[in-house]
Structure 1
Amino acid sequence: MMQFTDWDILRNLLLAARWTVLLSLIAFASGGLVALLLTFMRISKNPVLSAFVKGYVELFQGTPLLMQLFVTFFGLSLIGIDVSAWSAAIIGLTLFTSAFLCEIWRGCIESLPKGQWEASRTLGLSFFQTMRYVILPQALTVAIAPTVGFSVQVVKGTALTSIIGFVELTKAGTMLNNATFQPFKVFALVAALYFLLCFPLSLYSKHLEKKLNVTG
């Protein structure tokens, strides 16, 4: 049996943590772009678009992320579309992230006084001009803290991609445990690395909330 030193275990976990970070960044960025489009559709006056986004959000918020990853990875294969674990992880996390960010941003926009919209219409601004010059700059300030806070959920959500074969931090921990038979040591290090990734984001989110409350 191959012998692993403590450094070997930590080094392999750190290498796998790179993929956790990269997957989190890609999922958060792509999910944010999709969420921005969905948010515009959700608050539009078009009832069809609004109903579609509402159903989309309820679907991905109301089902487990694990099931979404299974459907993405295995479901697409059933209809003849072969996807790698990497691609399935990105698609699944993007859909999951976009649904939650859409609701966060919609709530931030709707929290603004209705007078902002009325004043914009009085000035003759179109919907997109109102969003660009009046609503979004104000909503952005409100949305920063909860958006950063949600990024913690995205990082932790990457752990579920191990189920479909994507080798990130949790999957690497499982593989190392199978090789070393030292579950306490291996998964204690895995938990410590997740903590080091998530705790700064949580602190920054709380800092932003306090700062914005004081400023407000």
Structure 2
Amino acid sequence: MIRVFSSADVWFIVMAVRWTLILSAIAFAGGALGGLTIALARTSHITVLRRCAAGFIQVFQGTPLLMQLFLVYFGLAVVGLPINPLLAAAVALTLHASAYLGEIWRGSIESVPSGQTEAATALSLSYADRMRHVILPQAMRIATAPTVGFLVQLIKGTSLASIIGFTELTRAGQIVNNATFKPFLVFGTVAILYFILCWPLSLLARRMETRMRRAITR
């Protein structure tokens, strides 16, 4: 039976924002750890590590995120390891974020002038000390703007978790729409909430890019 779209439905959708943020935070934190590992492997002098990291990036950048969600959620169930939608979405999005952040940070590491590495080597710093004290601090400043930009894409990407039954913002909208059959009102509300989440981050990323560009041209 179709019912009226009410303030209770709006509140139900708004409350689902917290699950979108939780999933985004988990995926970004896991992706940051994985991305740093991938970036370091990609810039390593060890050929096997470089090739493994490059293969990982090609797989997860070359396949749709939706397919990755399906493979994690349904694939593990097929082999007798069923997991709940939140964990499946977190794993898939973490792997997805690791590939993209790894490539972003790899580019940032390689953009640090080679003279910095040569100077650190001349001071007899170990690889770990060179990365920790010389290369990574400079690379992270370069990577901040594109990293924030990717976070916007990651927040929007969590909407695909609705396909496997995880009740985040988009799934909450689908549930309400099925009961009220008011797609314009329901998904208009969902779109506004996504805009509120993503727009400030987009402005921040744009401002960081402008500031970095000015610093380079000085």
Alignment of 1:63-82 (within 5 A): 63-82=63-82
How far, CA to CA, are the matches of 2:171 and 2:158 in structure 1?
10
Alignment of 1:6-45 (within 5 A): 6-45=6-45
User: Which stretch has the larger CA shift, 195-204 or 1-10?
Assistant: 1-10
Is 1:61 the counterpart of 2:57? The answer is no
Runs of 4+ in 1 over 2 A off after TM superposition: 1-6, 212-216
CA-based RMSD: 1.1
The letter for the 1-side match of 2:71 is V
How far, CA to CA, are the matches of 2:50 and 2:79 in structure 1?
29
How far, CA to CA, are the matches of 1:123 and 1:185 in structure 2?
63
Structure 1 residue 5: deviation in Å? Answer: 4.2
User: Which residue of the partner structure matches residue 164 of structure 2?
Assistant: 164
Look up the SS of the partner of 2:49 in the other structure. helix
User: Which residue of the partner structure matches residue 106 of structure 1?
Assistant: 106
User: Which stretch has the larger CA shift, 1-10 or 56-65?
Assistant: 1-10
C-alpha contact 2:159 2:169 (8 A) present in aligned 1? yes
User: Which residue of the partner structure matches residue 50 of structure 2?
Assistant: 50
User: Which residue of the partner structure matches residue 132 of structure 1?
Assistant: 132
User: Which residue of the partner structure matches residue 174 of structure 1?
Assistant: 174
The two structures have a TM-score, normalised by structure 1, of 0.97
Alignment of 1:179-194 (within 5 A): 179-194=179-194
Structure 1 residue 2: deviation in Å? Answer: 6.5
User: Which residue of the partner structure matches residue 93 of structure 1?
Assistant: 93
How far, CA to CA, are the matches of 2:190 and 2:29 in structure 1?
25
C-alpha contact 2:5 2:180 (8 A) present in aligned 1? no
How far, CA to CA, are the matches of 1:198 and 1:65 in structure 2?
19
Structure 1 residue 186: deviation in Å? Answer: 0.4
How far, CA to CA, are the matches of 2:52 and 2:78 in structure 1?
25
The letter for the 2-side match of 1:161 is A
